[in-house]
A and B are shown apart, each in its own frame.
Chain A
Amino acid sequence: MNETTSTKKKEPIEESQVAPGHRACAGCGELLAARLVMNAAGKNVIATCATGCLEVVSSAYPQSAWKMPWIHSLFENPTAVASGVEAALKALGRENEANIIAQGGDGSTADIGIGCLSGMLERGHNVLYVCYDNEAYMNTGVQRSGLTPFEASTTTAPSGKISWGKTTDKKPMPEIAAAHGIPYVATASVGYYADLQKKVKKALTIKGPKYIQIHCPCPLGWIHDPALTIKVAQVAVQTGLIPIFEMENGVITSVRKIVKKRPVEDYLKLQGRFRHLLKKSGGEDEVKRIQAIADQNIEKYHLI
């Protein structure tokens, strides 16, 4: 790994709010992100969690990786459960006991749980929502989600003789969250952990609903070397495909500038899920379409 290795130096492993010994795959971006989030948030947290890889690898009885009070209910409802936690703390006069963090994968967030999420944001609960975006339903075997990128191959929208994979691009979840009029929305990447942790800390100083979406490579689903998780995440940002920004009260207040723009091929070629684009004839045109998405992002968010 390169410039951003692990957080070990700064945070001794025994201090980590997400304990080692969980069952995540080698190189799992989602577990890394969760640990970064929880360590940034510190001790006074009550967490909810959707069904998905994060929950499955961390909470198999009789063990738990979670050092904070933590509840998993269903795939759709970490937000509604968090709303109930918040209401209970208020009603019991325990409001100052803890920050509430609700967590879900991209499938929970953008697809099956979007109704519950929207309700929580609209009602103004004082909850930080974290979407771990590994761009597919990984827990069930890499099926397409609303946050799977354009023309990635997944097991339910695979590339094939007459298919390039997913026919649409990522649902604009950060904008959808921001459209609820909430005070804080941010995107982050496990490739840039300091930025990620800074955003979590900042979010927790703001009252009301907060939304942070973290891009997390999945070596198994994206088909890349588990040692390259951080690199893959960083290259995604450097191409413009994953814009990193903050939106406060609906206005973009900061973006992570791209120092040296990379062509999207640099990102695609690291991963098996895009291999068909580089191998099949006619693929060059598809790569151009993906480059156009990156360029649009760069323009829209002023990344350069």
Chain B
Amino acid sequence: MKKVIEGSMAVALAVKACRPHVISAYPITPQTHIVENLSQMVADGELKSEFVNVESEFSAASVILGASATGARAYSTTTAQGLLLMTEVLFNIAGLRLPVSLTCANRAISAPINIWCDHQDAMTVRDSGWIQLYAEDCQEAADMQLQAFKIGENPEIMLPVMVNMDGFILTHAFEPIELLDQKMADEYLPPYKPEIFLTTKNPVTFGILAEPQYYAESRYRLEEAIKASKPVIEEAASEFKRIFGRYSGGLVDKYKLDGAKTALVGMGSVVGTMREVVDEMNSHGQKSGLLKIRTYRPFPKEAIYDALKDVDNIIVMEKAISLGLGGILLNELKSIFQGKKKQPRISGFIIGLGGRDIPTQSIINAVKKVESETIEDEFIDLRTELIGAGK
């Protein structure tokens, strides 16, 4: 059944369908509607979760950590400053191998303070050991929520999963959404039954001190697990399709890449605009395609290479920057082609920071620019009058 609802409600309903035992979150724009919706569901008795109203995101992350370690399915949601405040706990959760899940309503990082969308928050914690999925639309954000627990709770994986959805652009968008049927959700996502958890029936010690002779092995196992999640992420999407009839997950999504000379690469809602550009280019005889990165961590190197190995020109559009290096995705993408026979030209643009609108024409202009030269780390649509003369 399709219904026009807000993205935040779509996610809240998806979370409800996951039957989390414990939810803990702290309000921050633009994530607020998700927590408010969940709170109301609990208040109305529609959702039987323990909702722990904490005093900070640091505690929210710690609460779901404790709950998960006790054998519960646990969920949180945040963004930007809240995600950064959680950072220490995020790394800890992954190190403890606790398959919690979190929706990040992606937003820019202060200073200057800005509540609108970019990907600097989640991309900054890319090395935390969390699996990171990026949704293009509200339906994907909802569907991926179910997949998140499915992936993370796989006994071979046991990792936390972050579902990223663009703040405001998706969280506050009203779209027709296919609601998740509870019976189908239950079939897809069985109850969480961890092997090891805090119980007096089988006392275990969590959170050990690992000295130099043990630490590296623990990190190695973590790296092995997150790499091993690649096929599990694909399977979770296929299984989802089997039950719900839609494929809305996986590592990457290819659009018109067969025979394409130029490929655009992006993550999140901007992909929709990029798709329009690709269509327009093709209508002018420029053979082009699009690669949507759905799974950012683990970084799907093989799938990306496979999708882009025959193109001449790659253009990465990203909503974050590693200050002092440049485009993060750009540099990661370039590393994939290291040592390969065919070397495409790889350009990168920084777009949409702090919620700056991204008109189709801006992307078209950027694509035109790189027809003959490689451009790296150019900020699209900078207002030259604000950054000084001569620029």
A-to-B contact residues, CB < 8 Å: 43-46, 48-49, 55-56, 59-62, 64, 66-74, 76-77, 80-85, 87-92, 94, 97-98, 115-116, 118-119, 122-123
User: Which A residues touch B211, using CB under 8 A?
Assistant: 60-61
Would you call the interface of chain A mostly helix, strand, loop, or mixed?
mixed
Contacts of A76 in B (CB 8 A): 58, 62, 88
B59 touches A80 (CB 8 A): yes
In the assembled complex, the CB of A95 is this many whole angstroms from the nearest CB of chain B, namely 11
Contacts of A60 in B (CB 8 A): 208-211
Q: Is B317 an interface residue (CB 8 A)?
A: no
A116, B62: Cβ atoms under 8 Å?
A: yes
On whether the beta carbons of B52 and A71 are closer than 8 Å, the reply is no
On whether the beta carbons of A64 and B208 are closer than 8 Å, the reply is: yes
Is B54 interfacial (CB 8 A cutoff)? yes
Q: How far is the CA of A80 from the CA of B93 in the complex (A)?
A: 13
* B339 CB within 8 Å of chain A: no
> In the complex, A61 Cα to B22 Cα: how many Å?
30
Tell me the number of A-to-B contacts counted with CB atoms below 8 Å. Answer: 166
Decide: A88 near B208, CB < 8 A? Known: A69-B200, A80-B63, A116-B62.
Answer: no
Name the one of B53, B54, B71, B204 contacting A88, with C-beta atoms under 8 angstroms: B71
- Are B66 and A81 interface neighbours, CB within 8 A? yes
Query: Is there a chain A Cβ closer than 8 Å to B65's Cβ?
Result: yes
| B205 contacts across to A, CB distance below 8 A | 59, 64, 66, 69-71
> Which residue from A45, A72, A80, A91 sits with its C-beta under 8 Å from B206?
A72
- Contact yes or no, B209 A59, CB < 8 A: yes
Most A C-beta atoms less than 10 A away, residue of B199, B205, B208, B214 = B205
Given contacts A72-B206, A73-B66, A73-B207, contact A87 B52 (CB under 8 A): yes
Query: 12 A–B contact pairs at CB < 8 A?
Result: A46-B199, A56-B209, A69-B199, A73-B62, A81-B65, A81-B66, A83-B63, A84-B24, A84-B62, A87-B22, A88-B74, A119-B59
* Contact across chains for A61 and B62 when beta carbons are under 8 A apart: no
Distance of A82 Cα from B89 Cα, bound (Å) = 14
Q: How far is the CB of A73 from chain B (nearest CB, A)?
A: 5
Q: B210: which A residues are within 8 A, CB to CB?
A: 60-61
Q: Tell me if B238 counts as interface (CB < 8 A to partner A).
A: no
- The answer on a CB contact under 8 Å between A85 and B62 is no
B70 CB within 8 Å of chain A: yes
Closest 4 CB pairs of A and B: A84-B66, A80-B62, A72-B207, A91-B21
**A71 x B198 contact (CB < 8 A):** yes
**A89 to B66 Cα, complex, angstroms:** 10
Q: Which of B188-214 contact A (CB under 8 A)?
A: 198-200, 202-211, 214
Among A48, A68, A84, chain B packs the most CB atoms within 10 A around the CB of A84
- Which residues on the B side are within 8 Å of A90 (C-beta)? 50
| B141 on interface, CB distance cutoff 8 Å | no
- Output the least CB separation between A244 and chain B (Å): 30
Q: B204 touching A122 by the CB < 8 A rule?
A: no
Q: How far is the CA of A61 from the CA of B74 in the complex (A)?
A: 27
Measured CA separation A44–B201 after assembly (Å): 9
Name the A residues within 8 Å of B58 (CB-CB). 76-77, 80, 115-116
List the A side residues contacting B207 at CB < 8 Å: 49, 55, 59, 71-73
For the complex, what is the distance from the CA of A82 to the CA of B65, rounded to whole Å? 9
Q: Output the nearest chain B residue to A56 by Cβ-Cβ distance.
A: B209
Given known A61-B214, A64-B208, A68-B203, contact A83–B66 (CB-CB < 8 A):
yes
- Does A45 lie within 8 Å of B208, measured CB to CB? no
With A71-B206, A91-B21 known to touch, is A84 a contact of B200 (CB < 8 Å)? Answer: no
Name A47's closest neighbour in chain B (CB-CB).
B198
Interface presence of B333 (CB below 8 A) = no
A80 and B66 in contact (CB under 8 A), knowing A73-B207, A88-B22? yes
Interface-centre pick from B22, B66, B202 (highest chain A CB count, 10 A): B66
Instruction: Compute how far the CA of A97 lies from the CA of B89 in the bound complex, rounded to whole angstroms.
Output: 27
- Once bound together, how far apart are the Cα atoms of A91 and B21, in whole Å? 5
Residues of chain B having any CB pair with chain A under 8 Å: 21-22, 24, 48-50, 52-56, 58-59, 62-72, 74, 88-89, 92, 96, 198-200, 202-211, 214
Q: Contacts of A44 on B, CB cut-off 8 Å?
A: 200
Contact A89 B209 (CB under 8 A): no
Distance of A79 Cα from B48 Cα, bound (Å) = 23
Q: Which residues of A contact B64 (CB under 8 A)?
A: 84
Residue pair A73, B74 in contact (C-beta under 8 Å): no
Assess the A92–B66 pair: CB atoms within 8 A. no
CA distance A72 to B210 in the complex (A): 12
**With A59-B209, A74-B89 as contacts: A92 and B55 at CB distance below 8 Å:** no
Contacts of A61 in B (CB 8 A): 208-211, 214
Whether B72 and A74, one on each chain, are in contact in the complex, defined by CB atoms closer than 8 angstroms, is no
CB distance from B53 to the nearest CB of A (A): 7
A91 to B70, CA, bound (A): 10
Cβ 8 A contact of A84, one of B63, B203, B206:
B63
| Residue in B70, B89, B203, B214 whose CB lies within 8 Å of A89 | B70
Given known contacts A60-B209, A66-B205, A46 and B88 CB-to-CB distance under 8 angstroms: no
Q: How far is the CB of A65 from chain B (nearest CB, A)?
A: 9
Residues from chain B with Cβ under 8 Å of A43 in the complex: 200
| Contact indicator B59/A116 (Cβ below 8 Å) | yes
Q: How far is the CB of A87 from chain B (nearest CB, A)?
A: 4
Q: How distant is A189 from chain B, measured CB to nearest CB, in Å?
A: 28
Q: How far is the CA of A46 from the CA of B144 in the complex (A)?
A: 33
Residues A83 and B200 in contact in the complex (CB < 8 Å), given A64-B205, A88-B71: no
Contacts of B69 in A (CB 8 A): 71, 81, 84-85
Q: Which residue of A lies closest to B196 (CB)?
A: A69
Residue of B nearest to A46 (CB): B198
Q: How far is the CB of A91 from chain B (nearest CB, A)?
A: 4
B49–A84 touching, CB < 8 Å = no
Complexed CA–CA distance, A123 and B92 (Å) = 24
Among B22, B48, B199, B202, which residue has the most Cβ atoms of chain A within 10 A? B22
From known contacts A59-B209, A64-B208, infer whether A84 and B71 are also in contact, taking CB-CB under 8 Å: no
Q: In the bound complex, what is the Cα–Cα distance between A90 and B89 (angstroms)?
A: 23
> Nearest Cβ distance between residue B35 and chain A, in whole angstroms?
16
Chain A residues near B56 (CB-CB < 8 A): 115-116, 119
Other A-B contacts than A69-B200, A80-B58, 19 sampled, CB-CB below 8 A, are: A46-B199, A60-B211, A69-B204, A70-B204, A71-B66, A73-B65, A73-B96, A80-B54, A83-B24, A84-B63, A87-B21, A87-B66, A88-B67, A88-B71, A91-B50, A92-B72, A94-B199, A97-B199, A116-B59
